[in-house]
Structure 1
């Protein structure tokens, strides 16, 4: 290995080749020429003294060394992105990029009416929204602020408890007109249920709180909460939906409320180092207020 420390550009290229599986694909992703990508890979291999890729009939295959290095390169990417966001916010009081992590339903159904007036008030603010049911790691700064459905346990975080989002069984009126409305838990056995596909740790935790909903019972299985919600709206069957989301659509009907009662403890969290960042504080406060209003709307008669 040479004594020259590889630049970040080389690691960025390395990750792009890992993701795309070819020099040409990485070139398109990064907006660089293919020969430049090839030189970056060669330079990084020489600097590290390792072979990172082997050519195969399907493109470039990562070696074991490349697989082991990937998490470190991803950590560099997250840190670099956080540095750029922090620098972008120093030019004006509320200006720059704030990256928010949230679940699919929260990000698509709940956050837009919260973030829209925020952008109108602060036109220099740029929001990056990452949607995933997995927990974004705020300690590694993969996101600046996260909306989480569990209490954050890292000591280096600033967290605010918002309240509890309630999930109950709902169906579209079209489905109920066609299949009838269940009135008891036993009635659900004759209906099309919508639920998860893969049983993750989070699903197992939920199953302990909501008995009787097994994967084998579902007439549609999807790990995307948005896909499940779309199928409920399409009249496919009965599935879990946040009460606040359902109340916005008169066509979605609450059914057998005693059969399925899932409570999502809701928190907004950010790294404590960002407390002095004006732009992050503004977004944090807007999320706390907006999600609080959403829960009040949910609980209103």
Structure 2
């Protein structure tokens, strides 16, 4: 299926790009998606070129909490918002990518955040990590639905500016092949090590139960990474600990899942979209 076909199918008979019964909404509404997002950030940081741009041409690297909040708001807008909000959000992100450039002082090479191959790495790792989190932490998704999720997310890829379909897998087998095929150019640079420090180093201060939960969940996130990524981060030597943490994390996520119904989670996400910075697009459209 082409990216354009995916966009057409996703928007049938409702005002957003993702239908109420889409696999994407089910995945993003689940608490496990937050952990998948954390794992995706760890994988994305292993792109040394993008990290140089990110670290040297933006202020986001020094505002981890704000960056995470903005990222969460963006995906909520795209997945649960109407098309006007999603289009405004994606246009904003594309503008930031266009302006994010950095010139290597040694080689003189100009690195651009909107390079298609780097955008594809960011998109594909996000899809991969969300599926890994779903599979490990109890979201009920069949292999066919996993493939459907990958196809649905072609919409998100197009919105962010990825036009080359050859960079975008369309099923789980192709996605795994893509992820494994990128290892020859990935690396852990100083910029990535600093930016991801809080995702890899647990906070050991405060309430003991909170500390314990944080350590367990953080190790559960690290368990989601491919073996080669754990090798680059220097944590490949404790797979049994990470697997044990993942099992405990699954129980914790199951408890969080029971605290609210799926409908409540979707309704809350949809309501938050109306308070996002893109909320004015609806009133502008009404005036026009």
TMscore range, shorter length: under 0.3
Higher relative contact order (CA 8 A, sep 6+): 2
Instruction: Kindly indicate which of the two structures has a greater share of residues assigned to strand.
Output: 1
Q: What is the TM-score with the length of structure 2 in the denominator? A: 0.24
